Chain A
Amino acid sequence: MNTLTSLFTILIFPAGLTLVLVGMLYEWIDRKLVARFQNRVGPRWFQPFADALKLFAKEQITPEIVNPYLFFGLPIAALAGALTAALYVPLLGLNPASNFPGDLIVTIYLLSLPTMCVGLAGWNTSGRFSLIGATRALTQLFAYEAPFLLAMLGPALVAGSWQINTINSYTQNHWVIFTQPIGFIVALIGLMGKLELPPFDAPEAETEIVAGALTEYSGRGLALFKIGKSVELIVGLSLISSFYLGGLNGIPSFLLKSLTLLLIMSMFQVLLTRLRIDQTVGLWWRFGAILVLAQLVVTILWKGFSL
């Protein structure tokens, strides 16, 4: 019975299929919000689902010079990474499917797997645009990964544990956003960098390099990468709202908190111009990392004094 329940949790609810569907729903909400801010109508509710279905139905054209195993396998690996990361996070406000001490590190590592797959995919197809896109994606990965991890570490420090479950129950009573505001901002912007949302969409800058690393992908592979991205969005939002916005203990609180974060992210998308890749890296290594390090130092000192 246990196996069956586990399988159900992993594949259907709340991870797996439900996660994919909720991911696409959130993608729609994001697009609708951005459209409303720009005084437009925006897509109807079924647009992301229609896009995914259409892509699955289309033929996948494989360039001649790629390694076919990598070409087929990388989208699957990307989606798998994102879905696996979801198992340790309080998804939809419910208890994580699995937990063990140190699963925070594992989750963050798994979340960076999609980006690395994109970079590898770009190198694999070795078209001109893909190579530049892959280089930019990996550069951006190096840039924001460290500040993001440090920003996640802040709440972990005050909660005194590396286990997401424990941190979640700790933050139910302590709203870390008030004690670590800088960490919150860095985490939120870091999530935007991870997901390559504007203004950090240099790796897939449409007007410069067509579609970046994913230029040569079509059909199934492209659909899997895109779904992986929406899953990453949910996982990231769950993490940040669980750590900073007072923990998640049920579907209503998940909806409320993650939608608030999505609203803020949409506003950032709309108000800011795309940064060049050198400006992104400069921004992160100068402001992001230093600020969050300062935050951490303050937190450590404070915790040290209050012990």
Chain B
Amino acid sequence: MNIEQVLAQAEQLLAAWNKETIHPESNRLDVVIVADDLRAAVIALHDAHWGYLSAITGLDLGTASAQLEALYHFCNGPAVASLRVRLPRDQAILPSIADIIPPASFFERELQEMLGFTFSGLNISARLFLSDDWPENVYPLRADFTLDQAAPVAVRQPDKLPEQGFVGGNTFVIPIGPQHPALKEPGHFEFTVDGEIVTAARMRLGYAHRGIEKAAESRNWIQNLYLFERICGICSHTHAMAYSIGVEKLAQVEIPARAQAIRELVAGLERIHSHLLWLGVTAHEAGFDTLFMYSWRDRETVMNLLEQITGNRVNYSANLLGGVKCDIGLEQAKAIKEGITYLETRIRHYLEVVTTDTMFLNRTRNIGTITFAEAENFGLLGPTARASGITRDVRIEAPYGAYTRFPVSVVTETKGDLEARCVVRLKELLVTCLAIRTIVDNLPEGPLTARMPRKIPAGETISRIEAPRGELLYFIKSNGGETPARVHIRTPSLCNWVSVLEKAVGRQLADVPMLIAGMDPCFSCNDRVVTVRHTGSNENWSWKQLREYGIEYYKR
């Protein structure tokens, strides 16, 4: 079935509630519906197994129109069908679909906090991204939001700590985070433990807030490229790539083949970097420090390669709107090949270690098993999903850029436990190494950039990229100016959190860090969506005050 047929199928499924059909791009279908029909439409798509819910975008259509809009994006292979619902600003009530599709609860909470939608049936008022002392009824992503509205409530309440110590009997609540040796980035988990067995799990995100989505609205298109790159250190190139591809689609500029190939090359190297880092972190959580040290030592090889090619070890800035900055000459090609040969040997060795070392397998085999059905229900993405047998990989379902010319093969496992996730990631690296070699040998000739206008024509676009952690979705809306009107980013880690919370219950406490590491969380990718408060606060704490505060805090 080609894209038109797939989209026609979706259109047919939604025929009963369809108020208006728009085809903004060749692979997209927008169906306008009213709020009351939302649940029926979602159930229709869900029951027919037409794709999966990838993201829910919220838009503020401006104070003049006094309307908000919510878009529900369903992805099926390369086709994307979006349900659009328009609501008045002060009465933005939508029915929640979290009971049909579990990961929707995270998306709905984001819209609830950022834009002020109300989801009836979603009985979670606890903040997900915004801090607990953010004032009520102030929605950062609305167009009429100004910074002085964001003053914290008068008396700062201490962060809601869970009940200290005992909660009756043998149970107590263990917090992991925001500062904890298990986490590489801050996040907060609360595990209710009975002895050593976990009985309940809760989480809180938003500790690495930087206000990126809002900040993007006041920077021009080129400045935003560098802003989005810095959302995350290990998926930085994929963010820049997703943004560039989206903007190039809006401007209808075709970038040269050489640039596309180089983008794929750098993305491949980044994948190697990311998965080796992940391997080290998982080994460290398990207590296998040797594997941690060795895999990070080998990560230096790929970082040096990236430095040679692009000029920086992290935040490569290889992308430009319209192409790439750095070329691959003979010297770089030779270095890449040598580096990749070395890395392939090491990756094969790690694959062997991970699958045969008895002590390491004691910590990974049959732990955190997610079956195929559960993975589909949770809406998982990336290697976490592929380890349970779901063949979900944007590079294969909806190839972008040079992936049509230099394809990669999909790697899946069936068991779905932590060992399977390790194996999927390492095997993916072997596939990536092969692809990199092919690209270096067959780099197409041509220029590196295409000319891009400074004002991008009006329109909306969705670009989907396979980041090392899963599918990354960028929704970019332009009003024809020099700055974007709205950029919504849905990162893969947000979808995968459900797996940790569900699977932690019933397992031992010692498995929890492994479970968290197993889904390869990227907290920096998650937390982007709050305005940074200016520290024009009147309090200036002296060193002495800070010290005393810290000591008093720790005495409790």
Contact = CB atoms under 8 A, between A and B. Distances in A.
Interface of A: 37-40, 61-64, 126-129, 131-132, 135, 198-199, 201-202, 205-210, 270-279
B363 A276 contact: yes
A40 B293 CA distance: 8
Contact of A132 (B174, B357, B551, B556): B174
Judged by DSSP, the binding face of B is: helix
A127 B162 CA distance: 13
B290 A277 contact: no
B196 A273 contact: no
Contact of A128 (B165, B285, B360): B165
Contact of A205 (B195, B510, B556): B510
Interface string B122-153: 00000000000000000000000000000000
Contacts of A206: 181
Nearest to A279: B362
Given A272-B359, A275-B359, 6 more contacts: A128-B165, A205-B510, A206-B181, A209-B174, A273-B360, A278-B508
Contacts of B172: 128, 131
A207 B294 contact: no
24 contacts: A39-B297, A61-B554, A64-B555, A128-B174, A131-B165, A132-B193, A199-B359, A205-B287, A206-B181, A207-B284, A207-B513, A208-B512, A208-B513, A209-B174, A209-B509, A270-B290, A272-B288, A273-B287, A273-B359, A273-B360, A273-B363, A276-B362, A276-B363, A276-B511
Contact of B290 (A37, A127, A205): A37
B175 interface: yes
Contacts of B174: 128-129, 132, 209
Contacts of B288: 272-274
A38 B510 contact: no
Nearest to A35: B293
Contact of A38 (B290, B508, B513): B290
Contacts of B363: 273-274, 276
Nearest to A200: B287
B294 A199 contact: no
Contacts of A202: 510
Q: B182, B287, B513 — which one has the most chain A CB atoms within 10 A of its CB?
A: B287
Contact of B362 (A38, A135, A270, A273): A273
B231 to A, nearest CB: 26
Given A132-B174, A210-B180, A271 B290 contact: yes
Contacts of A209: 174, 509
B292 to A, nearest CB: 9
Given A128-B165, A131-B172, A278-B196, A207 B287 contact: yes
Contacts of B297: 39
A127 B172 CA distance: 10
Nearest to B291: A273
Given A64-B555, A128-B175, A210 B181 contact: yes
B181 A207 contact: yes
A57 to B, nearest CB: 16
